[in-house]
């Protein structure tokens, strides 16, 4: 099967798989072919968010996209994280505003995200649902592991 997957030019495979930590630790963080379909849909969602919020080209930064298991363990990600399935990206956009404002703005968009999580006030985790599941549009915040997840995007 020769399936041609499309990627938003700014959220291409290289950008979504790039990791300074993986590079530093010599970890292979290429996305396996069977997960590229997810990564392509994630790319489209990020493009939609950028366009809908009128974010300038190049201003929406991906802190972490796809994570192979080894990288996920290295960065202390939750086991079986959506990042490991090519379904999630952690983003920031200093030009737009602090992560809390970015998360609140994304929450208002009609786009089909699965989870939107304001994490430690520092970045926004946005994910898509697996193909066979309905996007939940779930909004959560977490400030500390002790306190755990809170309902909604919480400003602190």
Binding stretches for Zn ion (CB under 5 A)? 88, 90, 125
Q: What is the C-alpha to C-alpha distance for residues 67 and 18, in angstroms, rounded to an integer? A: 9
For the bound state, the minimum distance from the C-beta of residue 140 to Zn ion, rounded and expressed in Å, comes to 11
Which CB atom, from 4 or from 31, has the smaller least distance to Zn ion? 31
Which CB atom, from 3 or from 100, has the smaller least distance to Zn ion? 100
Q: What are phi and psi of 148, to 5 degrees?
A: 80, -165
Which CB atom, from 40 or from 127, has the smaller least distance to Zn ion? 127
For the bound state, the minimum distance from the C-beta of residue 1 to Zn ion, rounded and expressed in Å, comes to 30
For the bound state, the minimum distance from the C-beta of residue 18 to Zn ion, rounded and expressed in Å, comes to 15
With CB atoms as reference, the residue minimizing the distance to Zn ion is: 125
Q: Identify the bridge partners of residue 149 per DSSP, sorted by sequence position.
A: 142
78 vs 71, 74, 82, 107, 145, CA distance in Å?
A: 11, 11, 9, 23, 11
């Amino acid at each position: 099967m020769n399936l041609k997957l499309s990627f938003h030019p700014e959220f291409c495979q290289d950008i979504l798989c790039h990791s300074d930590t993986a590079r530093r630790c010599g970890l292979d963080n290429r996305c396996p072919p069977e997960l590229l379909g997810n990564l392509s849909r994630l790319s489209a969602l990020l493009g939609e968010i950028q366009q809908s919020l009128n974010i300038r080209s190049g201003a929406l930064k991906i802190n972490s996209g796809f994570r192979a298991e080894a990288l996920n363990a290295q960065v202390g990600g939750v086991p079986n994280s959506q990042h490991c399935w090519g379904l999630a990206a952690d983003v920031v956009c200093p030009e737009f505003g602090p992560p809390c404002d970015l998360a609140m703005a994304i929450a208002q968009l009609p786009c089909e995200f699965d989870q939107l999580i304001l994490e430690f006030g520092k970045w926004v985790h946005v994910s898509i649902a697996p193909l066979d599941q309905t996007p939940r549009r779930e909004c959560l915040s977490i400030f500390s592991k002790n306190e755990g997840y809170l309902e909604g995007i919480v400003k602190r």
